[in-house]
């Protein structure tokens, strides 16, 4: 130890991972940030400073699309937080009940949508909700709610919420599993001590278990945040790159795709695309920082 010669084996062990990771992930990430400061004039790349961002936030045509996509993205995230995570916690709380039978079966079955690709999920729900096929209206008719039916995916007011709920349907398995795992680590003694003090049933959940699984809920929230703010596939599979009807389901991922890759009559613009990617990067970074420094460090963790 302490010899000055280079330990080649350490380099050999580290090199492949570091090279691939640096070349394919880190350098392109910074290159994308850098590209957002350039533009193309007569097939030549010229430096324009923050001009692209000025266009993105200042030019009426761009800023309207950007704020629309960002607002939709926040709504998409809020639906996940309000629907996906509570359902996940509820299912996990029921599943973790020690005397529940068939819990392995329920877990496996409820996780199935999570493994399906967005293409399958998007089209399957599109078919089911379609007025042509009539499964959704038929089923609503059967329970006397037929008049309630609307082609939810085709209406501007409802399509984004519908897609968010489809995404919730797909991913509810992840919070369920993580909370389930957290609930299993709570020692029986603590629950029994609560019972001695008369804290049982729902009260035990709210007063003992919920505070103990808060760190897991924090992790799920940040995973949901990062996942939602670079979502793309479901919207693309169900509504196409134009995120119809009338851009009402446009989120940052589809907006960036259209901008840098081009669609129909609009030519792709990698520099504006990079500007949008940089904005997404900033949003995700802010979210992660709020979580790491604002939430995670303040959360009380208990050691058993």
- Asked if 25 touches another protein (CB under 8 A), the answer is yes
How far CA 250 is from CA of 242, 256, 281, in Å, comes to 7, 10, 18
Which residues inside 217-256 make contact with another protein, applying CB under 8 A?
Answer: 219, 222, 226, 230, 232-233, 236-237, 253, 256
SS3 46: strand
The C-alpha atoms of residue 120 and residue 285 are separated, in whole angstroms, by 31
The C-alpha atoms of residue 293 and residue 181 are separated, in whole angstroms, by 25
- Asked if 266 touches another protein (CB under 8 A), the answer is no
The C-alpha atoms of residue 255 and residue 63 are separated, in whole angstroms, by 12
For another protein, the binding residue among 37, 81, 83, 124 (CB under 8 A) is 124
For another protein, the binding residue among 74, 75, 106, 149 (CB under 8 A) is 106
How near is the Cβ of 221 to another protein at its closest, in Å? 13
Kindly tell me which of 157 and 185 has the beta carbon lying closer to another protein. 185
How near is the Cβ of 71 to another protein at its closest, in Å? 20
SS3 37: coil
- Asked if 40 touches another protein (CB under 8 A), the answer is no
Which residues inside 2-21 make contact with another protein, applying CB under 8 A?
Answer: 7, 9-10, 12-14, 16-18, 20-21
Q: Could you tell me which stretch among 30-38, 52-60, 65-73, 242-250 binds another protein (CB under 8 A)?
A: 30-38
Which residues inside 279-298 make contact with another protein, applying CB under 8 A?
Answer: 280-281, 284-285, 288
- Asked if 97 touches another protein (CB under 8 A), the answer is yes
Kindly tell me which of 185 and 246 has the beta carbon lying closer to another protein. 185
Give the CA angle between residues 185, 214, 168 to the nearest 5°. 100
SS3 259: helix
- Asked if 29 touches another protein (CB under 8 A), the answer is yes
Give the CA angle between residues 233, 239, 240 to the nearest 5°. 70
Kindly tell me which of 160 and 277 has the beta carbon lying closer to another protein. 277
Closest CA to 89 of 221, 178, 203, 190: 178
Closest CA to 172 of 249, 82, 101: 82
For another protein, the binding residue among 123, 148, 293, 302 (CB under 8 A) is 123
Which residues inside 139-178 make contact with another protein, applying CB under 8 A?
Answer: 169, 172, 174, 177-178
C-beta neighbour count of 79 within 10 angstroms = 19
């Amino acid at each position: 130890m302490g010899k000055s010669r280079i330990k080649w084996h350490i380099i050999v062990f580290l090199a492949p991972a570091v090279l691939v990771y640096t070349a394919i992930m880190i350098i392109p990430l910074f290159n994308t940030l850098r590209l957002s400061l350039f533009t193309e004039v007569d097939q030549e790349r010229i430096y324009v400073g923050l001009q692209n961002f000025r266009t993105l936030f200042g030019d009426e045509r761009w800023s309207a699309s950007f704020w629309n996509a960002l607002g939709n993205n926040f709504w998409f995230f809020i639906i996940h937080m309000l629907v996906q995570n509570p359902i996940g916690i509820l299912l996990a709380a029921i599943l973790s009940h020690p005397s529940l039978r068939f819990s392995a079966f329920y877990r496996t079955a409820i996780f199935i949508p999570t493994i399906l690709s967005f293409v399958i999920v998007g089209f399957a729900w599109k078919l089911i909700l379609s007025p042509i096929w009539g499964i959704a209206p038929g089923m609503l008719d059967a329970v006397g709610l037929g008049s309630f039916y609307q082609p939810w995916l085709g209406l501007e007011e409802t399509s984004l919420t519908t897609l968010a709920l489809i995404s919730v349907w797909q991913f509810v398995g992840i919070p369920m599993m993580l909370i389930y795992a957290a609930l299993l680590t709570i020692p029986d003694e603590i629950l029994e001590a609560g019972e001695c003090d008369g804290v049982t049933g729902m009260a035990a959940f709210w007063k003992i278990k919920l505070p103990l699984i808060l760190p897991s809920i924090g992790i799920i929230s940040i995973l949901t945040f990062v996942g939602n703010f670079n979502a793309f596939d479901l919207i693309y599979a169900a509504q196409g790159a134009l995120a119809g009807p009338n851009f009402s389901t446009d989120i940052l991922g589809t907006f960036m795709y259209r901008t840098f890759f081009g669609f129909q009559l609009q030519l792709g613009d990698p520099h504006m695309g990079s500007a949008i990617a940089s904005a997404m990067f900033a949003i995700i970074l802010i979210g992660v920082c709020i979580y790491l420094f604002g939430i995670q460090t303040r959360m009380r963790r208990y050691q058993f």
